[in-house]
Amino acid sequence: MLSSLPTDAAIAFQGHRGAYSHLACQKVFPDHAVQPCTSFLDAMRAVENGYAARAMIPLENSTAGRVEEIYRLIPEMKLHLVGEHFEPVNHCLMALPGVSLDELSTVASHPQALAQCARHIEAAGFTAEATLDTAGAALAVSEGGDRSRGAIASKLAAELYGLTILNDHFQDVTGNTTRFIILSGTEVIPEFDPSRAYITSIVFRVRNIPAALYKGLGGFATNGVNMVKLESYIIGSSLSASQFHVDIEGHVAQRSLQLALEELAFFAEDVRILGTCEAHPFRASHQFRD
């Protein structure tokens, strides 16, 4: 994944510099420039159109759940999933330099971050203000000059925008983690190594026949393939057409997975393999399941 990228390749992400997506880019691609984008769609289009080599996209959070928009965008894009990354989310309460905790009355951040810090916000008596992203809230505080306003964002955001961290563990629940997927405009499948663990992601729609989903997924069980995620969502304007996103333990080169996919094809339409990548070590160390 890293070795195939030229040194001048950029990594696209949604949000301002200092966002958790930016932090994930630094962890996975420390030697590459980043390309902040206004929206997830813009970040994915940057890769699709060749303006960036990869996109770092958050797919789900252990506290807030899935990022619904991403599941709808992925099938519409001609992108390939080439990696995954699990990033611990540590929310920091920050303010202008020299501001004390008792001077704050309002804290701003992304709605999910506010929700993940709700108890601490209430206990402090702060008014919560929603913004488009965490780093954008930090930038606004740094530029606003209002000593009564703080932000909840990453340590990186505080460093970039010259803010002072008043509490470096402001989240209500420890262990909050976001899973990111890494998207590429070209398919990159790692060579199969039986000593390594892999994740394969697919999307499909089931045929309009009785028990199609049950029968289609049955092939994974009969071939001993472990399915670790199944997400469903409505596509288009119809309330009757559902699309499914499945993450499977295994590599597309393994015969058991090939047989399971063959069986799925009898009962599904538009089966698309998004990609196969090495499983992130977080899965083994935390026994990650959805």
Q: 51 with 43: CB under 8 angstroms?
A: no
Q: 257 with 264: CB under 8 angstroms?
A: no
Q: In what order do the strands lie in the sheet containing 149-153? A: 127-130, 106-109, 149-153, 92-95, 164-167
From the list 13, 131, 170, 178, the catalytic residue is 178
Helical ranges in the chain per DSSP H: 20-28, 40-48, 68-73, 111-116, 118-124, 134-144, 155-161, 212-222, 255-267, 281-286
**Phi then psi dihedrals of residue 184, to 5 deg:** -130, 155
Burial (CB count <10 Å: 0-12, 13-18, 19+), residue 249: middle
131 is known as an active-site residue: no
From the list 13, 170, 180, 220, the catalytic residue is 180
- Residue 15's contacts (CB-CB under 8 Å, 6 or more residues apart) are 21, 22, 36, 37, 132, 133, 134, 135, 136
> Structure tokens of 131?
């913004």
**Phi then psi dihedrals of residue 286, to 5 deg:** -115, 5
> Structure tokens of 5?
């990228």
> Structure tokens of 106?
């309002």
CA distance 126 to 129: 9
Residue 264's SS3 state is: helix
180 is known as an active-site residue: yes
Annotated catalytic residues are: 178, 180
